[in-house]
């Protein structure tokens, strides 16, 4: 019988002591009319805190920059109406005992093809002033010039403004979305970063932009407030992409980021059990990032389920429970590969997932289907 009690031990994150190791991760809701979260969104996040998630991260929120994103149903982090909504989210999560951070997001130069969040087409839109390190919309197609220093500085300043506002609104820290092919990731990924000099040309230099964003945001946080960075190998444009080809390259790539000071690196994978490199090691991305940086990490990816998020979206299918994977999760956790575990879809389907796992009531866990998100948003927080 696998012992899950280590997941329910405290963890120090910045000035906070989390009572357990289970995180509710950022997942786009598409219910923020005009970018403003209403009561249903606030209740949704609070219910996951009530169910036992010690740290609740909001969906990615668009920072105050012209090309940060324009989907009217996804949250924005600018404008007084939106700020009032996000203040309510933070307060509701706190009322249920959770720590809450927003995920600050800039979509940058979006790739061609169907948007996985909306199903509609996306393409280069010069009227938005879309920006990227070298002007590539995907690894083969350059559609505009790379960012000037002034454009780089403007984006960094927008992240810093978002951080300052998060503090004012009562959030406990921030997460920076540096994964999945968005601007921070575009600088890190050599397929889209063709620069030389300060921001490119070597793995260490490719980390310079992320490090500058981190330092600017850190300056706006109060002492002890955690700063979290989300990373991934895979991109929206390429599920098989790799941020780095070897652990050595990964270590060099993240060196400036570590020096800038992050409290946690949130390592996004589609399936947590897949190794990060073809080197004979079974370490996943969170395992390797922790090994080469010494920074605490969080793992994510189909935890407790038999298929990844995009299978649900693309086929509208149900992800069935796969509790056998939890044994592997604990083997890796006990080995020290990562410090926190993010449970997304399984906690949408069953908000009491942490409490049920702690109690050994696995028969009460539920599979995930696209309908589960609608049901979760319609539910009310109960005391």
Beta-bridged to residue 121, according to DSSP, are 114
Phi, psi of 30 (to 5 degrees): 55, 45
With the CA atoms of 145, 149, 152 and 158 taken in that order, what torsion angle do they form, in degrees rounded to the nearest 10?
-130
182 carries an active-site annotation: yes
Residue found by looking up tokens 């190794």 in the block: 275
Token couple for 339 = 């410090």
Between CA 78 and CA 36 the distance in angstroms is 10
Q: Pick the closest to residue 297 from 229, 251, 214, 215 (CA basis).
A: 229
- End-to-end alpha carbon distance in the chain: 32
Residues 6+ apart with CB under 8 A from 312: 318, 319, 345, 368, 369, 370
Helix (H, G, I), strand (E, B) or coil at 164: helix
Among the listed residues 45, 182, 199, 239, the single catalytic one is 182
Residue written as tokens 């780089």? 152
Quickly count: other Cβ atoms within 10 Å of residue 141's Cβ: 11
SS3 234: coil
Instruction: Please list, in sequence order, all residues whose beta carbon lies within 8 angstroms of the beta carbon of residue 73, skipping any fewer than 6 positions away.
Output: 29, 30, 31, 32, 33, 118
Active centre residues (catalytic): 182
């Amino acid at each position: 019988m696998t012992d899950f009690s280590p997941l329910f031990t405290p963890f120090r994150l910045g000035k906070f002591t989390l009572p357990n190791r289970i995180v509710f991760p950022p997942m786009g809701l598409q219910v923020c009319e005009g970018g403003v979260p209403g009561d249903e969104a606030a209740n949704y996040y609070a219910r996951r805190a009530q169910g036992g998630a010690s740290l609740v991260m909001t969906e990615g929120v668009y920072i105050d920059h012209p090309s940060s994103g324009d989907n009217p149903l996804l949250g924005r982090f600018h404008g007084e109406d939106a700020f009032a909504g996000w203040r309510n989210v933070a307060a509701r999560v706190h009322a249920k005992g959770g720590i809450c951070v927003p995920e600050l997001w800039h979509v940058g130069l979006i790739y061609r093809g169907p948007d996985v969040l909306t199903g509609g087409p996306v393409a280069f839109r010069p009227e938005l002033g879309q920006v990227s390190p070298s002007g590539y919309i995907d690894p083969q197609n350059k559609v505009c010039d790379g960012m000037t220093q002034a454009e780089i500085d403007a984006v960094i300043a927008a992240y810093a403004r978002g951080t300052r506002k998060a503090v004012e609104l009562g959030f406990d820290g921030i997460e920076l979305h540096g994964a999945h092919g968005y601007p921070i990731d575009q600088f890190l990924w050599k397929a889209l970063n063709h620069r030389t000099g300060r921001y490119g040309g070597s793995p260490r230099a490719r980390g310079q932009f992320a490090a500058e964003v981190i330092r600017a945001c850190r300056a706006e946080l109060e002492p002890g407030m955690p700063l979290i960075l989300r990373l991934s190998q895979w991109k929206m444009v390429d599920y098989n992409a790799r941020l780095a080809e070897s652990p050595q390259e990964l270590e060099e790539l993240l060196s400036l980021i570590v020096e800038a000071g992050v409290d946690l690196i949130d390592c996004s994978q589609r399936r947590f059990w897949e190794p990060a490199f073809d080197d004979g090691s079974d370490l996943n991305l969170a395992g390797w990032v922790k090994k080469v940086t010494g920074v605490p990490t969080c793992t994510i990816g189909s935890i407790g389920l038999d298929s990844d998020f995009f299978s649900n979206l693309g086929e509208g299918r149900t992800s069935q429970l796969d509790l056998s994977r939890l044994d592997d999760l604990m083997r890796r956790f006990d080995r020290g590969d990562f410090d926190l575990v993010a449970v997304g879809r399984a906690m949408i389907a069953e908000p009491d997932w942490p409490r049920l796992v702690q109690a050994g009531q696995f028969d009460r866990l539920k599979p995930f289907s696209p309908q589960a998100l609608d049901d979760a948003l319609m539910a009310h927080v109960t005391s």
